[in-house]
Amino acid sequence: MYDVIALGELLVDLAERTKDENGYPTLAANPGGAPGNFLAALSAYGKKTAFLAKVGDDTFGHLLTGTMRRAGIDTRGILISPDTFTTLAFVTFDAHGDRSFAFARKPGADTQLRWEEIDPAMLEQARVFHFGSLSCTDEPARTATQKAAAYARAHGKLVTYDPNYRAPLWKTEQEAKAQILWGLSQADIVKISDEETQFLWGCGPEEGAERVLALGARLVMVTLGPKGCLLKNAQAEFSCGCPKVQPIDTTGAGDIFGGSAVSRFLELNKAPEALIYGPLRSSRCQPLHRSFRRHSVHPEKGSRPAKNTGGILSKCTLKDSPFRRGSYRIMGDNLPARRGLQGGLCLLVRDYIDKIHKKFPVKFTQNR
């Protein structure tokens, strides 16, 4: 029995480390792909996971399979393609730490996964099925993804989804939007970024969360980059901010965030819509008032109206995790919030993030 099974891209990130005097970057190879990062976080928390993917019969493909296995992820669903190479992603950074992506994927092995190659019994054995949009950029992986999602839903599995929009991998924006909207309509829990809500609807995170719920999701987690995150279901919402930091490398931050969130969600053993309005409960904070006022909570001084004190989330870089990635961590004792969610979103956010830097050795960004 698996807690989570994911389907999607498994690739190598060639990330910029330095530039020479002529401007050519020195690249470091790292295992990559959003679903793999997502599963690595879950496995680090002791969850049983499995991956449905395809890599090339090449050095990188075999390295990736071994990395997943060492991360505790069941690799029996990772297939080896003798005809296509493992996909490569080239990640470079500007002066602000923002990323640019380019891909060697025409085609990449991950796009060649077929539904007929997937063992449905693995889907039947999972509590949660997870996927993203990048397995829907090309056939036959698109059909494989659609049929796997339909199969999981037909068998009563919880479905989670992360669009993970990467413009260079889509032929047109219209095609990307159509496939992402389809994915959103299939999911019970969605992790989406504020940039993606802007791309899809030209709106902010609050309206974006409402639109995702209207498509059928039961819980939405919107990542806001340096501003933190917003969680919302049909009954309540919860938001938390971040202190100002200088990013080192944000690659994979949302993936680790999402995997950690789903890990905590599984531990709560509640339906997404059952995370209801109520007081916050945490070992490190007092209950918040039922209001939209922001409060910060100190273990000794109690609850008080907050100044703009930042929040519990801060970007950091994972150094020694199975996947070299960015993530978020708890910041001190301040907890800005809008509404508390009984037995739910407050613990979902606070507890799983509190565990991240215990599970993954991290190098934090520097405060400005």
CATH of the domain at 40: 3.40.1190.20
Q: What pLDDT score was predicted for residue 141? A: 98
Distance of alpha carbon 255 from its chain centroid, rounded?
3
What distance in Å separates the CA atoms of residue 360 and residue 353, rounded to the nearest whole number? Answer: 11
Contact partners, residue 187, CB within 8 Å, separation at least 6: 159, 160, 161, 216, 217
What string of DSSP letters covers 123-166? HHTEEEEEEESGGGSSTTHHHHHHHHHHHHHHTT-EEEEE----
Report the relative pairing of strands 295-298 and 362-364 from DSSP bridges. unpaired
DSSP H or E run through 314: strand 314-318
List Cβ neighbours of 262 (8 Å cut-off, separation of 6 or more): 4, 38, 42, 128, 130, 160, 189
Place of tokens 């260079």: 168
For the chain, the first-to-last Cα distance in angstroms comes to 46
**349 domain residue, yes or no:** no
- Sign, CA dihedral 89-161-43-7, equals negative
* Cβ–Cβ < 8 Å for 281, 275: no
Determine, yes or no, domain membership for 295.
Answer: no
In the Cβ-directed half-sphere of 309, how many Cα atoms lie within 13 Å?
A: 18
Q: How far apart are CA 353 and CA 347, in angstroms?
A: 9
Does residue 84 lie in a domain region? yes
CA distances from 41 to 118, 269, 296 (A): 23, 18, 28
| 182 within domain boundaries | yes
Backbone angles phi, psi at 349, to 5 degrees: -70, -55
Taking a C-beta distance cutoff of 8 angstroms, is the pair 68, 10 a contact? yes
Please name the amino acid found at residue 29: A
Cα–Cα dist 262/157, whole Å: 14
Give the domain range for residue 195.
2-16+26-276
Phi-psi region of 164 (alpha: psi -120 to 50; beta: other; left: phi over 0): left
pLDDT at 363 over 70: no
SS3 64: helix
Q: pLDDT averaged over the chain?
A: 79
pLDDT of residue 149: 98
pLDDT of residue 97: 65
Q: Domain count of the chain?
A: 1
pLDDT digits (tens, 9 = 90+) for 101-130: 899 999 999 999 999 999 999 999 999 999
pLDDT band at 100 (very low <50, low <70, confident <90, very high): confident
The pLDDT, as a whole number, for residue 291 is 25
Q: What is the pLDDT of residues 8-52, one digit of tens each?
A: 999 999 988 888 899 888 999 999 999 999 999 999 999 999 999
User: Is the alpha carbon torsion for 353, 338, 342, 266 positive or negative?
Assistant: negative
CA diameter of the chain: 64
Does a structural domain hold residue 291? no
Check the CA dihedral 110-41-160-103 and report its sign. negative
> pLDDT tens digits for 277-331?
543 333 333 222 222 222 222 333 333 333 322 222 223 333 333 333 333 332 2
| Each residue's pLDDT tens digit, 137-189 | 999 999 999 999 999 999 999 999 999 999 999 999 999 999 999 999 999 99
Output 143 or 339, whichever has higher pLDDT: 143
Is 273 a residue whose pLDDT tops 50? yes
In a domain, 335, yes or no: no
